[in-house]
Amino acid sequence: MGQIELPNMRFYTYNGVHEEEKKLGQQLRVDVRVYYPIEMLVMNDDLTTTISYSDIYRTVAKVVTQNQFNLIESVALLVMKTLMLEFPQATQVDVSVTKHAIPIPGVYDPFTISVSSAEV
């Protein structure tokens, strides 16, 4: 079993519960890990028989930037479900979405939500 990891993808979005988040927008970080039977899919060293990281990136970018959500949980879940549908060779997909600009008072690091198809 192998995995493709696309860490630290950044997208500017207009997601959030508060009106100012939807109006001004914010950056979200998305981390993805896709598990698949690498030894079988890359046997012929042919990109058309395996999962391409550039296709994963395009899929994630489309989901994150072309939809609007109230919750980053919803972003993570739709990214995970879409990747599982788009890449049937995948045996598991893990997704984390990190929100850097949280509209609540306090001192804290960015908040992260993680989902895994292994748990769904």
pLDDT at 76: 98
**Which pair of structure tokens corresponds to residue 20?**
């100012």
% of the chain at pLDDT higher than 70? 92
Q: What are phi and psi of 81, to 5 degrees?
A: -65, -40
Domain spans of the chain?
Answer: 2-119
pLDDT band at 102 (very low <50, low <70, confident <90, very high): confident
Q: Is the dihedral of CA 15, 19, 21, 22 positive or negative?
A: positive
% of the chain at pLDDT higher than 90? 58
Read off the pLDDT of each residue in 28-37 and give the average, rounded to a whole number. Answer: 96
Q: Is the dihedral of CA 32, 33, 35, 39 positive or negative?
A: positive
pLDDT at 46: 67
pLDDT at 35: 96
**Which pair of structure tokens corresponds to residue 95?**
């997704």
CB atoms inside a 10 Å sphere around CB 15: 21
Taken as a whole, the chain contains a residue count of 120
The structure's pTM equals 0.89
Q: Does domain 2-119 have CATH number 3.30.1330.60?
A: no
pLDDT at 44: 73
Distances (CA, A) of 79 to 46, 74, 120: 26, 8, 13
